[in-house]
Structure formats: C-alpha cells, structure tokens
Amino acid sequence: MGTERVAQLAYSEIQAAMLDEAKRRRKASKIIAVLAHFLGRDPVPGPGAPGVLDGLTVADIGCSAGFIADELASAGARHAFGVDIDVPGLRKADERFGERVEFVCADGTALPFPDGSMDVLVLNHIYEHVVDPDAVVRELHRVLADDGVLYLGLGNRLGVMEPHYKLPFLSYLPPSLADRYVRAFGRADHYYERFRTRAGLRRMLAGFHVWDYSFPVLASPGRFAGAELFPGAVGRVAQGTLARTPRPALRALLPVVPTYLWVATKTPRRPLGPALPQAPAPVRIPQPVRTS
C-alpha cells in the first residue's frame, strides 16, 4: 500500500527547480504566448504598447517563488495574484515582486476570490502535486469569469520518462511499487506525485471547453518557446517534422504525449490567433452523466 498523501508544504525547499529563475521565466514566456494566441492579443512592440494581458485580472495557482506570476504582471495584467501553500517560496516572491503581484497563502481547494472574478488563471504542472485535484479544478471553475481563460500544463501518466525523478515508466506503476522503485534508485523515500492519463484529465476537466495546444507549441517553437515540451534530440527531430505531420498521425500519438498544454473556458470559445502549421484542436470532453 502506498504512503498516505498529505499536502506538500514548502515545496521550493525540496525541489530546487522552483528556484531556477531562468527556466521558470522561459516557462512563463510559453504560457503567455499560448494565451496571446488564444485571445488574439499578440504583443505590439514599442514603449507604451499594450501587453498581452492588458487590463485583465490574473492568478497563478501554485506560484511558489513567483517568477511566472511576475511575468504575468509584466504582460500588462491589471491585477496579478500568486497563490500557494509554499510559505518560504511566497516569502521570497513577496520580497522581490510584492509591489506588482499580490501573493496569497491559500489552498487551491479554497481560493480566496469571489465567483467569476478572474479573467485568466494558470495551473502549470500542479495537479499531480495536490491531494485532491478534482476539488482544485472545481474551485478554478468557480472563480473563473464566464468569458475567462484557464491555462493548463498537464503531465501525462503514460509519458515514458517521469519528469521529477527521471525514472522510466515510474508513473505507470501502482503506488506501492512506485515507492520501491524510487527507493531502489535512491531518488526519494516514496513516490508522491499522482499523474492521470489523457482520458483521466478529460474527465477532471469535464466542466470546461478545452483546446489542445501541445502540438502547435512544439511545431512552432519560435512563436511559443516550445522546445521544452520534448527536450533534447527528440525535440529537435519533432520540431522539424511536426509541421508536416498529418492530423490523423498526431491523434495516434496523443495518449503518450508526456505533457499536454491545454486552454480551457467555461463557455464555448475558439482561438482567435492567426493560422499555425499545426492548429489547436478541440479536446472532446465527456459530458457528465445525467441521473433521473
């Protein structure tokens, strides 16, 4: 039986990647570029030009040390929030960025925002770390405006290389075997993260309309800073071929894509940006089962 899961407090103290400023800001650039395309708000060069998020209220859920939240503020957000239970990370974030971002210590299952108050929400590689991701998604749905946008970076359980411990097929295993695996290689005392398959993620987001930007980002790395989606040699090959790959072939790969980049809305919306070599695709979300 796997170790009981409790909230991961002070995550920046145990995961050094959360304090890698250059990498976090690169991730933010990708997030903002995806939002810009979906909203049809490509940045306009020049001093005083409006930003991608000009006039919008935004929140980064799971902000840790605040680098992504700071980039959201710099993209023109009217109000920017960073939310986490990582107290050391929030302290560092507030010291550096508190003048332009409001940092809040709060659990994702009880966000301190009114209904429909957020224009843009970011949940980037967070769901596998929380005890109840379904409850977090319900809260995101509650606080998102009817015309708001939710950006999601979602790890896939069927991605071959587990991203936190760098062990192949780790996330495929049941908790008890996964615990033994990470201990055998000296990575940790137990395996905490819980990933879902694409089908499981679709069920988790059943209340949203979702567009998949995974392949558009990888096929247009210059536009989206997407090289991190498939790093290394695989990424270099993929970037050179994806733009020419027929859509049916890409659909066949979807179950094993290691990371999904999705944009979700509460009401039906379509991406407003220009045509891309690989276009964003709607994700078929199963409807809740009606009971009589």
Q: State the average pLDDT over residues 257-286.
A: 92
pLDDT tens for each residue of 118-141:
999 999 999 999 999 999 999 999
Cα separation, 28 vs 15, whole angstroms: 18
Least confident of 13-22, 34-43, 50-59, 211-220: 13-22
For 6, other C-beta atoms within 10 Å of its C-beta total 8
| First vs last C-alpha separation in the chain | 37
* Per-residue CA distances from 90 to 9, 19, 61, 140, 187 (Å): 11, 12, 12, 20, 26
Whose tokens are 């009589």? That residue is 292
pLDDT digits (tens, 9 = 90+) for 62-99: 999 999 999 999 999 999 999 999 999 999 999 999 99
Model confidence, pTM = 0.89
Fold exhibited by the domain 11-157+195-277: Rossmann fold (3.40.50)
Which tens digits make up the pLDDT trace of 177-217?
999 999 999 999 999 999 999 999 999 999 999 999 999 99
Residue 49 has pLDDT above 60, yes or no: no
Q: Of all residues in the chain, what percent carry a pLDDT higher than 90? A: 70
Q: How many Cα atoms occupy the beta-carbon half-sphere of 172 within 13 Å?
A: 10
User: Count of alpha carbons within 13 Å of 269, Cβ hemisphere only?
Assistant: 21
Q: How far apart are CA 32 and CA 260, in angstroms?
A: 16
Domain boundaries of the chain, sorted by first residue = 11-157+195-277
Q: pLDDT grade, residue 56 (50/70/90)?
A: very high
The arrangement of strands across the sheet holding 209-212 comes to: 102-105, 79-84, 57-61, 118-124, 144-155, 259-265, 209-212, 281-283
Of 49-53, 84-88, 158-162, 192-196, the poorest mean pLDDT is in 49-53
> What is the β-pairing status of strands 79-84 and 144-155?
unpaired
Q: Are strands 281-283 and 259-265 parallel, antiparallel or unpaired?
A: unpaired
Instruction: Give the pLDDT score at 160.
Output: 94
